[in-house]
C-alpha cells in the first residue's frame, strides 16, 4: 500500500507491507544474522547496503559503505546497484533518491526512522517565514541555505530561491558563497551549526537572530531582522544539544590534558570550550592523526564514540564520551536487524518494501540545491 509521510503535499512517499514485519519482530535478535547474510548473498551486486556512522553495531556491520548522509548518497548513486538499502533516517533516504539514477530504488528499512531536527522545519512554516521576509522587503537580499539534515521539500525550497544545501564540513564555504551573492542568510534547520559557522567567520551573535516559527514574525522585530547577517531557524539536534559546558569542565578536571572535540551541532558555549570541532568525518580524522596514547572526549553520538574507542584501543588511544550518561540517536536506533532482514528477504522474493520516492517537481529543485553545493566543495 502507499503510505503518505507528510500530512499535506508530501515531498516523498513510501511503499510498505508492514503487516508481514510483525513476525520478524517477535524473533530473537541473534536469529537475524544468518538470514541477513543469506539474503545479501542471494541479492549480490543488485543491492547495496549503506550504514550511517550513528547506526547501531548490529546493523552497520553488514554495510557495504559507512559514512555521513551525503557521502553515502553520492557513493550509492555511483554504483551499478539497482536497490539502495539505506540504514539511516528518512531525510537520508530522500537525499539518496534525489541523487540516484532513475533505474535505482531506495529502501528505508523502517519508515519510523526519522530525524527530530529535520522535523523542526516544516515546509509550510518555512514558506511563511519567507513571506514575512518578503513583506519586510528583506527576501530579495537573503539566500536560504539548508543543512543536509532537512527534508527534500526544504532542499527544494532553497534550490528554487537561489540557495543550496550544505554539510557540516562545508558550511563555512557555503556561507562565503551566499555572502558573495546577498547580504544575509536564512539558515535551516539547525541553529547551532549556523551560529557556530557564522561566529567563526566573525559575525557577532547579535547579528544572528533566531526565527521561532511558532511566534508572530519569528519573535523578531523588523529592525533586528533588517540588521541581521544570518537568520537562524529555531531547530537543533536532540543528541548534540544534550552536551553542556559543564560536561567540558568536568572531563578536563577529571582527565588533565584530555582533548575535547565536538560536532558543530553542539551549543555555541560547548564549542567555545572545545579544543576542536568538526564534522563526523573530521572528528574521526582527528583521532586517527593523533599520536598513540592520546585521550579524547568526543561530543557526538554514542555509537560512533564507542566504535572509535574499540578501533583505537590497540594504539593506546583512550576515547570517552563527553557526557557519560550517553547520547544515542533514538530514531536511527529504530532500524534493527529485524527490519533489515525483512527488507532484504522481501527483495529476494521480488517485493520492494519501504521504497522512498521524492516527487519529480521536488526532486528537480532539491537536486539543483545539492549540485550547487559542489560549487563550494
Q: Range of 123's domain? A: 118-237+366-376
Question: Do 230 and 126 share a structural domain?
Answer: yes
What is the count of structural domains for the chain?
3
In a domain, 7, yes or no: no
Q: How many CB atoms lie within 10 A of CB 132?
A: 18
3-state class of 15 per DSSP? strand
> Are both 205 and 152 inside the same structural domain?
yes
Which residues does residue 106 pair with via DSSP β-bridges, in sequence order? 84, 356
Does one domain contain both 268 and 248? yes
Element of type H or E holding 340: helix 337-348
Q: Give the separation between CA 171 and CA 198, rounded to whole angstroms.
A: 9
Query: Do 128 and 228 belong to one domain?
Result: yes
pLDDT for 28 equals 77
Residues with pLDDT less than 50, the chain: 1-9, 16-19
Residue 148 lies in a domain: yes
User: What pLDDT, on the 0 to 100 scale, is given for residue 2?
Assistant: 34
Beta bridge partners of 185: 143, 230
pLDDT value of position 144: 98
Residue 377's pLDDT is 66
Nearest Cα residue to 203 out of 176, 233, 167: 176
Residue 59 is placed in which grid cell? 546493523
Supply the pLDDT for residue 330. Answer: 67
**Domain at 278, CATH number:** 3.40.50.10800
For residue 219, is it left (φ>0), alpha (ψ between -120 and 50) or beta?
left
Examine the domain organization and report whether 276 and 306 are in the same domain: yes
**Number of Cβ within a 10 Å radius of residue 328:** 16
pLDDT of residue 5: 37
In this structure, are 143 and 244 located in the same domain? no
User: Do 227 and 133 have their domain in common?
Assistant: yes
Q: Is the domain of 213 the same as that of 202?
A: yes
Give a yes or no: residue 60 inside a domain. Answer: yes
Tell me whether residue 358 is in a domain: no
Is residue 1 exposed (0-12), middle (13-18) or buried (19+ Cβ within 10 Å)? exposed
pLDDT of residue 6: 38
Residues 140 and 40 in one domain: no
pLDDT attached to residue 116: 86
* pTM (2 d.p.): 0.88
Amino acid at each position: 500500500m502507499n503510505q503518505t509521510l507528510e500530512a499535506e503535499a508530501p515531498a516523498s512517499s513510501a511503499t510498505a507491507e508492514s503487516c508481514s514485519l510483525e513476525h520478524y519482530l517477535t524473533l530473537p535478535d541473534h536469529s537475524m544474522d544468518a538470514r541477513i547474510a543469506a539474503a545479501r548473498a542471494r541479492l549480490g551486486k543488485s543491492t547495496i547496503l549503506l550504514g550511517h556512522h550513528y547506526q547501531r553495531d548490529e546493523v552497520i556491520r553488514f554495510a557495504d559503505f559507512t559514512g555521513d548522509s551525503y557521502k553515502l548518497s553520492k557513493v550509492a548513486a555511483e554504483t551499478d546497484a539497482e536497490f539502495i538499502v539505506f540504514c539511516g533516517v528518512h531525510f537520508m533516504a530522500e537525499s539518496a533518491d534525489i541523487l540516484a539514477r532513475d533505474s535505482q530504488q531506495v529502501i528505508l528499512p523502517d519508515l519510523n526512522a526519522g530525524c527530530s531536527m529535520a522535523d523542526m522545519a516544516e515546509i509550510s512554516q518555512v514558506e511563511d517565514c519567507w513571506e514575512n521576509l518578503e513583506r519586510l522587503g528583506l527576501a530579495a537580499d537573503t539566500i536560504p541555505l539548508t543543512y543536509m539534515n532537512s527534508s527534500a521539500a526544504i532542499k527544494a525550497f532553497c534550490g528554487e530561491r537561489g540557495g543550496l544545501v550544505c554539510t557540516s564540513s562545508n558550511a563555512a564555504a557555503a556561507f562565503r558563497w551566499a555572502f558573495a551573492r546577498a547580504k544575509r542568510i536564512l539558515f535551516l534547520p539547525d541553529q547551532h551549526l549556523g551560529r557556530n559557522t557564522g561566529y567563526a567567520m566573525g559575525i557577532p551573535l547579535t547579528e544572528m537572530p533566531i526565527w521561532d516559527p511558532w511566534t508572530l514574525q519569528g519573535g523578531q522585530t523588523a529592525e533586528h531582522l533588517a540588521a541581521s547577517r544570518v537568520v537562524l531557524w529555531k531547530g537543533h539536534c536532540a543528541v548534540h544539544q544534550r552536551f553542556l559546558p559543564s560536561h567540558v569542565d568536568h572531563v578536563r578536571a577529571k582527565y588533565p590534558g584530555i582533548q575535547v572535540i565536538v560536532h558543530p551541532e553542539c551549543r555555541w558555549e560547548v564549542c567555545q570550550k572545545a579544543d576542536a570541532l568538526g564534522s563526523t568525518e573530521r572528528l574521526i580524522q582527528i583521532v586517527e592523526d593523533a599520536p598513540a596514547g592520546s585521550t579524547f572526549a568526543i561530543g557526538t553520538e554514542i555509537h560512533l564514540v564507542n566504535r572509535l574507542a574499540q578501533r583505537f584501543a590497540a594504539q593506546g588511544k583512550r576515547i570517552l564520551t563527553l557526557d557519560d550518561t550517553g547520547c544515542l540517536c533514538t530514531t536511527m536506533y529504530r532500524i534493527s536487524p529485524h527490519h533489515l532482514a525483512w527488507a532484504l528477504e522481501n527483495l529476494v522474493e521480488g517485493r520492494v518494501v519501504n521504497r522512498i520516492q521524492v516527487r519529480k517537481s521536488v526532486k528537480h529543485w532539491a537536486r539543483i540545491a545539492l549540485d550547487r553545493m559542489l560549487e563550494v566543495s
